Amino acid sequence: MKQYILALDQGTTSSRAILFDHDGSLCGSAQHEFAQHFPVPGRVEHDASDIWTSQLACARQVLREAGVSAAQVAAIGIANQRETTVLWDRKSGEAVAPAIVWQDRRTADACERLRADGHAALVQQATGLELDAYFSATKLAWLLDNVAGARERACRGELAFGTVDSWLAFKLTGRHVTDVSNASRTMLFNIHDVAWDERLLTLFNVPPEVLPQVVSSSEVVGHTHADLFGSPVTVSGIAGDQQAATFGQACHSQGMVKNTYGTGCFMLMHAGAQAVASHNRLLATVGWRVGGATDYLLEGSVFMGGATVQWLRDGLGIIEKSCDVEELALSVPDNGGVYLVPAFAGLGAPHWDPYARGTLIGMTRGSGRGHVARAALEAIAYQSAELLMAMQKDAAIPVTEVRADGGAARNDLLMQFQADLLGVPVVRPKVTETTALGAAWLAGLAIGFWESREEVAAQWQAEKQFEPLMREDRRRELMATWARAVERSRGWAPSGSGV
């Protein structure tokens, strides 16, 4: 009876489930979008029950359509949108409030106050993170302070906090766990000690009773309730989506780099067996823990990647489908001097400006839809180029290529422009579902479905390589103009505006 690994890829705008066989081939997939909630400017929420029901529906659908029984599923691996914060009742298993999404900026002012009080250095030293509303700690504190009775109930052990991996693991198995990669994104976890940090729990006023148990990224953490799939299935892999994608891109050696072009863009470099402190406002983060060994990454996060194209579709209405953006951008020879800085949720690395706002600049009467579309695509590449420049300064390791994945990596115009800006080849793999593949590999390694990292890395294959064609002087000129546009976007929303 053929065996498979089922990867649950829970993202910001949709839940997906993908089946992989022993060769790492994709054998079936299903995807369900779910509602995004924007109650007031600066706030982004999900209904946690939508996350769970959409993910469960995908898993059941892919098994049904592939004709695969639960008995044929050797293990389940989970990859998840990171930092999104869920608080639920341990007894009923129901969330006590909407989940606060990683894009949410409601706690930006709280972070600024903590920074003004001198706490940023502790946060950066212990967690490798910037003191920013992006991460889970201030979101959890907000829920404890603003949901009636939540803090008291949390202290009594009645409530459970978790990022989305914890929420799914709880609903699947009944266990309250998180893996080291997701824990490292909460701003409560000491990445050097690989443990919750009591100083940070005190700083953010988080009771330890609410925290999940931290497990490895590749180990058996439980078995699914029998009624979910007809019989229990082992859950043995968990990683945040970007760490999972890095693992799935076979970036298992120091200096290897991948960039995911999803809702946001996330560039990660394998930093080795020790965390590398960033001096250029990147993040040091846990990559994964496998077989007792912890690997670390350097990361740069762009808040608006593919979401910028979604804005062209849903906000401006200049394209009907996201995939139409390439054709529209190719309708003009260049951007015509138009630059779009998509700081709709502030700016991430290396700027970390929660008060920046989206800016469209350089327009003339000759500017049209094509120029705006091209500027939107180029903005994704410019932001990613900033990350690689900072990364190379921090790690002092020459980068020979960048492995690309995510939905927007299928856009050849974007990939070529990215290679031109980076000055190194950009390589797209044959299997672009690297987030799910990484989760599958982690789950399979835990149970012996695959024997070693070398075995799974050998499954990775390139589909297309984009070579840089741009002259160095032209590259510098474009990056300098981009920097001018970014500067004009910064500090637009006033401090204290509750972004």
pLDDT digits (tens, 9 = 90+) for 300-322: 988 888 889 999 999 999 888 88
Q: Name which of 188, 218, 220 is nearest 295 in CA terms.
A: 218
What is the number of other CB atoms lying within 10 angstroms of the CB of residue 66? Answer: 16
Given this model, what pLDDT does residue 301 score? Answer: 87
Residue 254 is labelled as binding a ligand: no
Residue 475 is labelled as binding a ligand: no
Given this model, what pLDDT does residue 69 score? Answer: 95
Residue 263 is labelled as binding a ligand: yes
Q: Per-residue confidence at 49, pLDDT binned at 50, 70, 90?
A: very high
State the Cα–Cα distance between residues 223 and 175, nearest whole angstrom.
9
* 310 exposure class (CB count in 10 Å sphere: 0-12, 13-18, 19+): middle
Right CATH for 4-242 from 3.40.50.1110, 3.40.50.720, 3.30.420.40, 3.30.70.1150: 3.30.420.40
Residue 242 is labelled as binding a ligand: yes
Checking if the pLDDT of 325 tops 60, the result is yes
State the Cα–Cα distance between residues 320 and 340, nearest whole angstrom.
20
The residue assigned the tokens 């003339």 is 364
CA 430 to chain centre: 21
Residue 306 is labelled as binding a ligand: yes
Query: Residue 149 — left, alpha, or beta (φ > 0 → left; ψ -120 to 50 → alpha)?
Result: left
Q: Per-residue confidence at 494, pLDDT binned at 50, 70, 90?
A: confident
pLDDT tens digit string along 105-151?
Answer: 899 999 999 999 999 999 999 999 989 898 999 999 999 999 999 99
Give the mean pLDDT of the chain: 93
Give the range among 10-24, 62-76, 272-286 with minimum mean pLDDT.
272-286
Residue 205 is labelled as binding a ligand: no
Average pLDDT (39-64) is: 95
Q: Per-residue confidence at 496, pLDDT binned at 50, 70, 90?
A: low
pLDDT tens digit string along 200-211?
Answer: 999 999 999 999
Given this model, what pLDDT does residue 41 score? Answer: 84
State the Cα–Cα distance between residues 423 and 418, nearest whole angstrom.
8
What is the number of other CB atoms lying within 10 angstroms of the CB of residue 129? Answer: 24
Residue 463 is labelled as binding a ligand: no
% of the chain at pLDDT higher than 90: 81
Give residue limits of the domains in the chain.
Answer: 4-242
Residue 310 is labelled as binding a ligand: yes
Task: Give the type of residue at 466.
Answer: F
Residue 407 is labelled as binding a ligand: yes
